[in-house]
Structure 1
């Protein structure tokens, strides 16, 4: 399987999306980068170009389907995508004083994480199926395996992404399109920097990016990093709910307000 030459990455202004953009940057590669922060998105594009790749940027909120979809289809028409990585996401949760996250923050996370993933991928599915090739990657979370009581909407949004990715993987396989469902644990990003609480098996951004890139290169159906943390979450889910809930309540954290 040849390396991808035309790649779409959302969430490319920081964190995992920006790191993956830099990882793929090389002469002959075209990267279509989507992000919300204009300055940080420009910095990612500059790093990509310095590595010899071509970069085009789109400043979009992935929760807004129509403008994002139109831009994505225009970029695909100009250089058909080999790989799409839906990495945009936000996080929130209960406050340090125990106050619930509330409807507005809960809705924001579902809109940005789950709907943003759908808004990125759905416009491209007919073209990918018609071409009979390509790869799609969605970024879920360990929180998708067993909901975290202090961040329920984030958990729900990531569980939805995981289920969506698993579903379209089976749907698209007969068309020759690969789908990778990425399930990362804790890694060092500005989002994690807002997390106040335990971060078991915390990885550096570089280490997480390398692990995900290895999985993408081999077109892995599931990319779970680190596996030990995932096994713990899955084991908790297999326990009786009364026991599992008590264990998860002991995993106390809160997420500082941020952008």
Structure 2
């Protein structure tokens, strides 16, 4: 399963791996891809039954697995938990994958303020706090890797889900800054920007979903990129290019393109 996913340029293959959002499609696929003898996986998720199923599958592949249902929105508990894990088993690879999405609703009435606050706390606050804490710990050790899961939606704000796009743009910018700060320290940071991935969250999102990928295919792309220390792992290529052009084009042109593609009003 793992053949071809690791690259010779990655001289230190991670053995202590922390993945948040492991009950999600990408998180679960990444956990199973990294699972092998000699690897300890620390998996966080909100759905106990799914987390236990992912754990069983990873254990069957030879990995040691610890699972946690901790609420990432509780900042005090989050940092205490993170310190405890890293003190006992220094993390080699942290994949900040936990996240959620909201939209403006079927009648385009706008996003709910309480949901907006929760999204920003999870997608941005928890992700940045965890990454920042582990970045300092890894820097002291002189080794480690951090992968921040952003999205192609972070290139340009989509009218149907502005808060989600803003949160992923923040994660992208933070990861880029973190990578620059840690350059030469032995710690690498990669920003991951997937397109549409087959998942419950993606299915719940309004608007068209071109070039849909399986979680397994996305996970293989991510693992290869991390092994190569690719600064920005963005895929699939055609959608990546289109999202990038939306950012570069004049706003009136970009908005017209989104309108023509059906991204301006959610459909059931």
Q: 8 Å contact 1:32–1:55 — kept in the other structure?
A: yes
CA distance in 1, matches of 2:36, 2:110: 45
Q: 1:228: which partner in 2? A: 238
**Normalising to structure 1: TM-score of the pair?**
0.94
Determine the structure 2 residue equivalent to 1:8: 18
Question: Number of aligned pairs?
Answer: 256
1:58 matched to 2:44: no
Shift in Å, 1:210: 1.0
- Alpha carbons 1:94, 1:150 under 8 Å: kept: yes
1:254 aligns with 2:266: yes
Counterpart in the other structure of 1:216: 226
Cα distance, 1:207 vs structure 2: 1.0
Residue 119 of structure 1 pairs with residue 129 of structure 2: yes
Alpha carbons 1:62, 1:120 under 8 Å: kept: no
Q: Which residue of 2 aligns with 1:151?
A: 161
What SS does the aligned partner of 2:38 have? coil
User: Which secondary structure does the structure 1 equivalent of 2:28 belong to?
Assistant: helix
TM-fit CA distance, 1:195: 2.5
* Runs of at least 5 residues in structure 2 that lack an aligned partner in the other structure: 1-10
Q: Is the 8 A contact 2:103 2:162 kept in 1?
A: yes
How far did residue 99 of structure 1 move? 1.7
Are residues 1:97 and 2:111 paired? no
CA contact under 8 A between 1:93 and 1:255: conserved in structure 2? Answer: no
Distance (Å, rounded) in 2 between the aligned partners of 1:246 and 1:107? 30
Contact 2:135 2:146 in 1 (8 A): no
Alpha-carbon distance change, 15 to 58 in structure 1, aligned in 2, over 3 angstroms: same
| Residue 127 (structure 1) shift | 1.3
- Alpha-carbon shift at residue 18 of structure 1 (Å): 1.2
The alpha carbon displacement at 1:137 in A equals 0.3
2:120 paired residue number: 110
For the residues of structure 1 that align with 2:146 and 2:250, how far apart are their CA atoms?
Answer: 35
The answer on whether the counterparts of 2:105 and 2:266 sit within 8 Å (CA) in structure 1 is: yes
- Which gives a bigger RCO, structure 1 or 2 (Cα 8 Å, sep 6+)? 2
| Aligned CA distance change for structure 1 residues 32 and 77 (closer, same or farther; 3 Å) | same
Matching residue within 158, 170, 184 for 1:160 = 170
Whole-Å separation in 2 of the counterparts to 1:99 and 1:132 = 49
Q: Distance in 2 between matches of 1:156 and 1:108?
A: 14
Alignment of 1:11-50 (within 5 A): 11-50=21-60
Consecutive unaligned residues of structure 1, counting only runs of 5 or more, are none
SS in 2 for 1:175: coil
SS where residue 32 of structure 1 aligns? strand
1:229 deviates by: 0.9
The alpha carbon displacement at 1:79 in A equals 1.4
Shift of 1:90: 0.3
What is the SS of the residue equivalent to 2:183?
helix
For residues 111-154 of structure 1, give each alpha carbon's deviation from its aligned partner in whole angstroms, at most 9, with x where no partner exists.
11111211322222221111111100000001100111110000
**CA distance in 2 between partners of 1:255 and 1:68 (Å):** 37
- Range with bigger deviation, 122-131 or 26-35: 122-131
TM-score normalised by structure 2 residue count: 0.91
Distance 1:71 1:255 in 2: 41
